[in-house]
Structure formats: structure tokens, C-alpha cells
Amino acid sequence: MPNERSDDLLERARQGDHEALETLLASHQGEIYRFGLRMCRNPEDAQDVLQDTLLAMARGVRDFRGASSLSTWLYTIARSFCIKKRRRSKFAPAGERSLDSDADREAAKLADPAKPPDEALAAHQVRTAIEQAIGALEPSSREVLLLRDVEGLTAPEVAEVLGVSVQAVKSRLHRARLSVRAHVAPLLGVPVEPAAVAHGTCPDILHVFSRYLEDEIRPAVCATMERHLEGCARCRSACDSLKRTLALCRMSSANVPIPDALQGSVKAALKDALAKLA
């Protein structure tokens, strides 16, 4: 069962195979929990988002016709629950809760015992800075960065989840990338912005490079950028820092475990829901 392809499981689930549905849900719960945790900024809300999303999928899987990818459908559902949580929080006594302490605990668990203490501390600080930078983004920018650069959806898929144009997705994405990179740049040992930009001697290389990653620039512009990077160590360092930042964003989300108690409660809720569907 674990080696079956997702589309095979989906087809069996649509035909009423509850075992296939449970396996399919289990394979996607990690990404949904990560997304809810980063968007809601509150572990309890993220737990609700995970359970509500999986239950909605269990109840609606027979009607899913595959017009979009399964991940796109799931993130669309999860996002709707995140928005509901955010709206309720406006009237709650306590707003969004910082995840800094949670990030610190996870970073400590993931510390490499083979690394010298100073290197482990530096890595810990960078991971914490990444969490803080993502959390500081406006929700509309945060969800774009999470879906595109952390979870790996394509720009058109992100646009479908959010109900906006691909151009709007890319515009938000570029701003979010540069904002997160600026937050962690001092820890990466590079300037927040190439000093030459302020004096007009270098192009806005970070924005150009972000657009390059999305295949948005023409070949001639790409060639010009490459020539500039060959002769400008400062801009090369800036681009490298953006690449490292995006890699760190992906790595920071790859090791967010679902608490055992949550997995148990979700499994029980799904079992009850599936029994009612039988």
C-alpha cells in the first residue's frame, strides 16, 4: 500500500475504498499541517485546520473530478479554514501567537551533534530567523511564498488556490522572497542590499534574479545579467544569498512533525467520519 501512486489511491478512494482513502489522507497530512501552522501562527488553530481539511476531503472525495491537482484542491480547502480562523481571531482576546519558541525547540531537536557548538548555534539562529521572517509577512504574501517556494506548487497552481492571476502571484512572490532574504541576510554574512544599487551602478539584481527563477525574463536580459554577475562579486553574493534563503525555507518546513496526540485525534475523527459514510 505505501508504494501505490497517489492517483491510484485517489481512484480507489473515489470508488469507496476507505483503506485507500485513509492512506491518501495520511500521505498529505504533513503538508496541510505545515501550511496551517505557518498561516494561522497558532498550533491549536493549525490542528483544527488539519482535521477540518482532511474531514472535508474524506466527505468530498467522491465528487472530486480531477479538474485540478489533488494538492491544489487540498490547499484550497485548507486555506478557506485558515481564513475563517483569521477572521475569528480579530475578535478573540489573544491574537496570533508567536511560533518562535516552537521553532527554537524544533531547531534544538534537529541540531547535528557532529557539528561544533558554534556552527550548531549559527544554524539554529538562521532557522529561527527564517521562521520569524515568514511569520512577519502579510498573509497574502506569506501564503504565496509557502505554496510556491516551500510546498513546491507551480505559479498557476498557486493562482488557482488563491483565486488570483498568475501575475499577481509572481508579484507577491518576488516581494516576499526579498523580504525574507533581507531578514536573514545579516546572519548569512551578506549586505541586506548590494551597496552599489543605491548609487545606481548595479541593477536591482535580486528582483531580476527572482524573476529569472520564474522564467520571466527574456534571453537577452538573462545574458546581460549573467555578464554582470561575472564581474560583480557583490551581486553574485546577493544572488547566492537569495538561493540559500529559499533552500532554507524549504528545509525549515521539511522537519515539522505532527504531534502524536494530534495524529491520534485526527485518525479517530476520520474513522468516525468514514463509518458514517459507509
How far is Cα 68 from Cα 77, in angstroms, rounded to an integer?
13
How far apart are alpha carbons 120 and 124 in whole angstroms?
6
DSSP letter for 61, please. Answer: G
136 has pLDDT over 90: yes
Is 82 among the domain residues? Answer: yes
pTM beyond 0.75: yes
More confident residue, 38 or 2: 38
Is residue 191 one of the residues assigned to a domain?
yes
Q: Which domain holds residue 200?
A: 6-277
Query: Per residue in 8-44, pLDDT tens?
Result: 888 898 888 888 888 888 889 999 999 999 999 899 9
Per-residue pLDDT tens over the stretch 152-167: 999 999 999 999 999 9
Q: Report which of residues 133 and 201 the model is more confident about.
A: 133
Helix axis angle, 233-254 to 166-188, nearest 10°: 100
Separation between Cα atoms, residue 9 and residue 73, nearest integer Å: 16
Quick one: cell of 121? 548555534
Q: Is the dihedral of CA 242, 247, 249, 250 positive or negative?
A: positive
Q: What is the distance between the alpha carbons of residues 266 and 236, in angstroms, rounded to a whole number?
A: 47
- Ranges 53-57, 173-177, 195-199, 232-236: which has the least confidence: 195-199
Q: Is residue 1 part of a domain?
A: no
Number of domains within the chain: 1
pLDDT band at residue 48 under the 50/70/90 scheme? very high
Across the chain, mean pLDDT equals: 83
pLDDT at residue 104 in the model: 44
Q: What pLDDT is attached to residue 272? A: 86
- Here the cell at position 78 is 485548507
The model's pLDDT over 76-124, given as tens digits with 9 standing for 90+, comes to: 999 999 999 888 765 444 444 444 444 444 444 444 445 565 556 677 7
